Each structure stands twice: as C-alpha cells, then as structure tokens.
Amino acid sequence: MEPVPTGPQHEPSPGARPLGITDARAAAENIRSMFDTIAPTYDRANHLLSFGLDRLWWSRSAGAVRSILQRPEAVVLDLCCGTGDMTLALYRHRPHPGAPILAADFSHPMLSRALPKFSGRNVVPIEADALQLPLADSSVDLVTFAFGFRNLSSYPAGLSELHRVLRPGGQIAILECNQPEGLVGSLYNLYFQRILPTIGGWISRDRSAYTYLPHSVARFPQPAKMKQLILEAGFTDPTWTSYTFGTAGLYRAVCS
C-alpha cells in the first residue's frame, strides 16, 4: 500500500491520486467510480463526520461572495456540486428573478441526489467534467467549489479551465480541506486517518472511499503552494481564509 504523508512538509501532487494509482486518467475514473458508489450515503456521512461543520463552511463561503451572487445578471457556476448543498447555500443569496445557478458534477448518481433539492429553484444541473466544461470562454462571473477541487486529476489544468470560462474580473471561491500544523494537526491526523475511515466505511459500506479522503487531504497543496498555483494560472490577488483552526479554508482570486 502506498504510504500516506502525515505532515505539511510533503511535496504536493499535481492532482488527485488514489492509493496505488499514478496515471491521471485512471485517477479520474477511479474517483468518479468512488463517488458513484457512495452517493446514497454521502449526505449522512458528510454531516456526521464533520460534526455538522460542513453546513457552517458552506454558508460562510457563500456569504463571502454574496456581492456577486446578489447581482441578478451574474452567471454562477458551482462545480463538483455533489448532492447540491453548496449550491443551495449560494442560492439563498440570489435575487429573484435572476440568472440561474449552474450546478455541475461528473458523477451521475451524485447529481441525481441533488435534483430533488433543486426542484422549484432556479438551478440548472449539468453533468460535466470540471476539466472539460461545456461552457464558452469568458461566460461566467463566479465559480465555486466545495470540497471538490482536491479531487481533480490535475490542479493546474483545473485552474486553467476555470480561467478560460471566467470573464475578466470574475472570481473563484474554492472551499477545501487543509492539513493543519501543531497540536491541532496531530489531533486532526488521529481522527482523519484512524477514526474517520472506520465510521465512513461503516456508513457507506465502502471503507476505501474514506481511506482516500485523508490521503487526498495530505497530498493537497498547502495554502502557500495553492496560492502560487492560482497565480500561475493567470489569477490575481489570491487569498486563503482559514476555517475551524485551519482544518478547512476558502481560496479566492480574481480572473485577470
């Protein structure tokens, strides 16, 4: 079994790599299959394993970009929308009438779980890969992610695709897990690597999916490196706002 890095000093991967997989295409297919499998229990597991903090993080992230959300004409894209909870957090700030929120995910079962939540709301679901979006250049004002960017098989390619679809002056808002340091980091590792896979596996009946989760966070770039990748993709003014002792946080930047 491939060892899991346990601290913030590791060299970050250029993209998500499930255990034992080194090829980007195979990684993407493996991750898609994993999310297809855990879709029926995804909401229950997320709320339980995060102690309900996921709702707070979605709400706080949506509030951070409400100045864009409140513009009726703004085109908003929620990528890797999963079962739609972040989309709904964004929707609470949208005026009526206004342009619909576009909610995209590459897992059909996950998107199917979101559809009842979108019913009666001005949300357009799209089954699409975040690395190959069916959208025109410079057509979007805001792109959000909630715990999905980390699962892209190439972070630079993902940022490049976001830059392509955003209008100049458009923004990204990427909510992601983070590997904290110090005592918090030690406690985080104990929970994430030993307790979470057991509980997540019990709920979903797929322990491998919840073994992948801490592995993916450990491999994800730390904030300084992630902000550098954002700059290299052509964005300006990248920031990272820490949530809950650095266990999660919001990346924001402007498309130049």
pLDDT tens digits along 197-206: 888 888 888 8
What CATH number has the domain bearing residue 112?
3.40.50.150
Whole-number pLDDT of residue 6: 37
Residue 141, domain member (yes or no): yes
Half-sphere exposure (CA, 13 Å, Cβ side) for 166? 26
Give the CA distances from residue 163 to residues 38, 105, 133, 184, 204, in Å, rounded to whole numbers and listed in that order. 30, 18, 12, 34, 35
How many C-beta atoms lie closer than 10 Å to residue 175's C-beta?
26
**How much is the pTM?**
0.91
Provide the number of structural domains found in the chain.
Answer: 1
Residue 186, domain member (yes or no): yes
218 and 4 Cβ atoms separated by less than 8 Å: yes
53 is in which domain, residue-wise? 26-255
Residue 131, domain member (yes or no): yes
Residue 182, domain member (yes or no): yes
Whole-number pLDDT of residue 13: 53
Residue 111, domain member (yes or no): yes
Residue 139, domain member (yes or no): yes
Residue 16, domain member (yes or no): no
Angle, helices 196-204 vs 42-49, to 10°: value is 160
Whole-number pLDDT of residue 111: 98
Residue 17, domain member (yes or no): no
Residues of the chain with pLDDT under 50: 1-12
